[in-house]
Amino acid sequence: MSKNTKIDFNSVVNDILDNKEFKKLNKEVHHGISRYDHSVKVAKKTYNFCKNFKKLDYIGATRAALLHDFFTNKEMEDLNAIKRYKTHPSLAVKNSSKYYNLSDMEKDAILSHMFPWNLKAPKYKESWVVTLADKIVSIKEGYSTKFVLPISIFILFLFNVIIVSR
Ligand SMILES: [Fe+2]
Ligand SMILES: [Fe+2]
């Protein structure tokens, strides 16, 4: 399939955006905006990057990006900040799996999106794109720029060394 015949972004994610539970993320504050809007931005960035590469599963990567923070603050209210950082990816996989049959790559992309904080390195090229897209979007949202920027450069470096050069 040439890049001109790729399925458009909305068709890739429409069913998720229409999901009643996912829509609840509209009411969750995340980096100063809603978690719904944050997730859409990460998904769009992932889609725009992956659709240009024939070998990347742009559909799976985009869907995983949209689902990467699928949790509510209420589900995490008993946890401190560090535990939230570490556990919300597995909660997002658990919540996503209630509605969608996730592939191994999609699970990996969601579970590893907090790398290097949660020490689970991405296994797939698409997972690297999702973790990087999340950090770029977070920087644009003004979230801990001082901290996230060096980490993003580090990930970009790893992406180049480990993945692109393979
Ligand atoms: Fe996250
Ligand atoms: Fe995120």
pLDDT (mean) for 97-121: 94
In this model, does residue 129 exceed pLDDT 60? yes
Ligand with the closest atom to the CA of 43: 2
Between the CA of 8 and the centroid of ligand 1 the distance, in Å, is 25
Query: pTM of the prediction?
Result: 0.86
The share of the chain scoring above pLDDT 70, in percent, equals 89
pLDDT for 41-87, tens place per residue? Answer: 999 999 999 999 989 999 999 999 999 999 999 998 888 888 888 89
Q: For tokens 């980096």, what's the residue?
A: 31
SS3 content of the chain, % helix, strand, coil (to 5): 65, 0, 30
Distance 86 CA to ligand 1 centre (A): 9
Mean pLDDT of all residues in 23-51: 93
CA of 69 to the centre of ligand 2 (A): 6
- Say what the pLDDT of residue 154 is: 73
Break the chain into its structural domains and give their ranges: 7-164
Question: Which of 47, 72, 42 lies closest to 141 in space, CA to CA?
Answer: 42
Task: Considering every ligand atom shown, identify the ligand nearest to the alpha carbon of residue 110 and give its number.
Answer: 1
- The model's confidence at residue 131, banded by pLDDT at 50, 70 and 90, is very high
Place of tokens 């969608």: 100
* Dist. CA 144–CA 93, nearest whole Å: 25
DSSP assigned state of 6: S
Instruction: Provide the β-strand partners of residue 34.
Output: 29
pLDDT band at 144 (very low <50, low <70, confident <90, very high): low
Q: What is residue 68's predicted lDDT score, i.e. its pLDDT?
A: 98
Q: What is the pLDDT of residue 156?
A: 72
User: DSSP 3-state assignment of 133?
Assistant: helix
User: How does residue 143 score in pLDDT terms, banded at 50, 70 and 90?
Assistant: low
Identify the residue whose tokens are 């995983």.
Answer: 64
Question: What is the Cα gyration radius of the chain?
Answer: 15
User: Which residue in this structure is represented by tokens 């539970």?
Assistant: 21
CATH code for residues 7-164: 1.10.3210
Ligand nearest to the CA of 66: 2
| Ion ligand 2 residue ranges (Cβ < 5 Å) | 69, 134
Cβ contact 39:62 at 8 Å: no
Ligand approaching nearest to the C-alpha of 36 = 2
Rounded to whole angstroms, the Cα distance separating 112 from 122 reads: 5
Q: Which pLDDT value is given to residue 44?
A: 98
DSSP-based three-state secondary structure for 142: coil
Phi and psi (nearest 5°) for 6?
-70, 150
Ligand number nearest CA of 71 is 1
Rounded mean pLDDT of the chain?
89
Q: What is the pLDDT of residue 110?
A: 98
Q: Distance between CA 20 and CA 15 in Å, rounded?
A: 10
- Distance in Å, CA 78 to ligand 1 centroid: 17
